[in-house]
Structure 1
Amino acid sequence: MTEQQSNDLDPRRDLTRRRIVVAGGAAVAVAGLGAAVATTAAAGETSGSAASATPSASASSPSGEVCYRLTSETTEGPYYIDADKIRKDITEDREGIPMTLRLKVIDSESCKPLAKAAVDIWHCDALGLYSGYESSSSGGGTPPTGTPPTGAPPTEAPTGAPTGAPPGGGHQDPTDDKRYLRGTQLTDRHGFVEFSTVFPGWYRGRCVHIHTKVHIGGKLTDDGYEGGHTCHTGQLFFAEEAVLDSAKVAPYSTSTTERTTLDEDGIYPGNGAEGGLLHLKYRKGHIAKGVVGSLTLGVDPDATNDGTGM
């Protein structure tokens, strides 16, 4: 089955003739995926072909074009390290399901793509550990050889409120010098960036997620991206169906950590693509082969949202 790439993810589209932006980041063509699962702005919604994204417009631009609502702001979280790794592939030595993350950044008022914006992402590994904070992040870990996990892998959604430490929290200083699953890139003239990483795991009290920041007005230096200001701090979220599929694959399947669902999470705002819910595509029954996640971020380039006061 051939997947059709939507205009929202085609840099060659004619912006003067068609500038209607469709929410959720649209379907991305992936060669050889065959029958695919496509999760969209409604968590758990699937389709064997490219799913139709739902518009998320609140108002028209001065020229009458339909634009994105502002993407929801969230807390920075305790494990942020300043943008000092300018790179596309952030995997390093981490095991897990290969993931391509494609983001587009636009001005939510004018609909125009933001070029040369620095997009920063960071997330935990397949077992819940953050680089720079391995001693303080609450990863699930792998049980010793011959010792079975103390509970079944999360093949069903858990019930009840999340337990353990509350999500978010103030910034902490790094405890080690590792930097896997962290990276920054500048958007191209169409507002796009693409990262190569792994599907994140989970840890106590939080659903599966990726942190992101968008920086405007700075410049690249030998030490990374410096100057300017942070106009967006958010998190990217994953539909439950994809998380349950990932939990069947090692090393995710070895985690003994209780999992918090998307609906139970204390930070996900519950508003689909506007709140950071990724559009995910992977081959049905073969998620281990790889996942493509995409989303368009609507931001206010003049605002300052560093996520530290939330």
Structure 2
Amino acid sequence: MDANTSVAPPAPVCLLSPEQIAGPYFRNPKLIRRNISEGAEGVPLVLRLTIVDAMTGEPVPDALVDIWHCNARGAYSGWSKINPDVEVDTGDIGAVPRTDDDTYLRGGQFTDKSGIVRFTTIYPGFYAGRALHIHVAVRITAGNNYLQERHVAWVGQLYLPEVASRSVLGSRPYSGRTVPVLANDQDFIYTTMGGEKSTLSVHTLGRDSAEDGYFGQMTIGIDTFAVSTQIRPEDFDKYTV
């Protein structure tokens, strides 16, 4: 092989999960907890995410995985007074002024040696202009000051299968909305940023899904050396929980 011969980088062992925007409701999460519900009303959802290195297929231990999503009526903590029936026309972090200091349905966990994190939350509702989704950010930690780490390697959104969502949205406190919910394939971010590869595998926890809730899982393949452009280091200074 001569000096002018280029060498192609090794192909990923597993699929690199598509990144999606962080949206306007990101906050610097310093809440390490498994149960993020804070008593929010809704159908229970147990979430298990497995973080793997897309280049090797190996689990990524000690990564900090943050999730956040709206409540059953479409409101985000920190922005609880924003009307979820009116579409917000910006996706930039910090573009929508905060209205409160609530912290429900936000939190982070460190992956275990198998790359797994588990959360107890509620099935998300929806707000105008979006399908049902859960935001996720993965930070690669180094040293002991984990909560100060700003190396965000991957940012995405996880979608819910529509069969389960229809059942949930027909129950209280989700029902009775004045704005229609978007199907996944009607959501602009879903259709343009790989949403079909970001849909959770969901099944019921018991016979009566409305009472017993759901279990959702997904494996997320990331590039551990990547630096996401969706959440930048300076974004951590805009809003801190």
What's the TM-score once normalised by structure 1's chain length?
Answer: 0.66
**Structure 1 residue 69 displacement after superposition:** 1.2
1:301 paired with 2:220, answer no
Partners in 2 of 1:79 and 1:167 — Cα distance? Answer: 10
**Structure 1 residue 247 displacement after superposition:** 1.3
Q: Secondary structure at the match of 1:131?
A: coil
Aligned match for 2:157, one of 225, 231, 235: 235
**Structure 1 residue 135 displacement after superposition:** 2.0
Partners in 2 of 1:92 and 1:256 — Cα distance? Answer: 26
1:124 paired with 2:70, answer yes
User: Which residue identity lines up with residue 81 of structure 2 in the other structure?
Assistant: S
1:291 paired with 2:214, answer yes
The question of whether the paired residues in 2 share the 8 Å contact of 1:218 and 1:226 is answered with no
1:212 paired with 2:136, answer yes
Q: Secondary structure at the match of 2:73?
A: coil
1:180 paired with 2:113, answer no
Identity of aligned pairs, percent?
35
User: Which residue identity lines up with residue 168 of structure 1 in the other structure?
Assistant: G
**Structure 1 residue 217 displacement after superposition:** 2.5
Structure with the bigger percentage of helix: 2
Change in 2 beyond 3 A, CA 1:234/1:114: same
Partners in 2 of 1:254 and 1:167 — Cα distance? Answer: 26
Q: Secondary structure at the match of 2:163?
A: helix
Runs of 4+, deviation exceeding 6 Å:
none
List gaps (5 residues or longer) in structure 2.
1-9, 233-241
Matches within 5 A, 1:215-294: 215-218=139-142, 221=145, 225-269=147-191, 271=194, 274=197, 276-282=198-204, 283=206, 286-294=209-217
What's the TM-score once normalised by structure 2's chain length?
Answer: 0.83
Q: Indicate the residue corresponding to 2:31 in structure 1.
A: 85
1:139 paired with 2:84, answer yes
User: Which residue identity lines up with residue 305 of structure 1 in the other structure?
Assistant: S
**Structure 1 residue 235 displacement after superposition:** 0.2
Q: Secondary structure at the match of 1:132?
A: coil
Partners in 2 of 1:267 and 1:220 — Cα distance? Answer: 36
User: Which residue identity lines up with residue 224 of structure 2 in the other structure?
Assistant: P
1:163-189 deviation line (CA, Å, top 9, x unaligned):
944463443453211100000010000
Partners in 2 of 1:139 and 1:89 — Cα distance? Answer: 24
1:120-149 deviation line (CA, Å, top 9, x unaligned):
00000000000011123x335xxxxxxxxx
Partners in 1 of 2:94 and 2:14 — Cα distance? Answer: 30
Aligned match for 1:76, one of 12, 17, 22: 22
User: Which residue identity lines up with residue 42 of structure 2 in the other structure?
Assistant: G
1:87-121 deviation line (CA, Å, top 9, x unaligned):
00000020000000100000001001000000000
Partners in 1 of 2:211 and 2:179 — Cα distance? Answer: 20
Change in 2 beyond 3 A, CA 1:220/1:87: farther
Aligned match for 2:47, one of 76, 101, 110: 101
Change in 2 beyond 3 A, CA 1:171/1:228: closer
Q: Secondary structure at the match of 1:267?
A: helix
The question of whether the paired residues in 1 share the 8 Å contact of 2:158 and 2:195 is answered with no
Structure 1 residues 123-132 or 237-246, which shifts more? Answer: 237-246
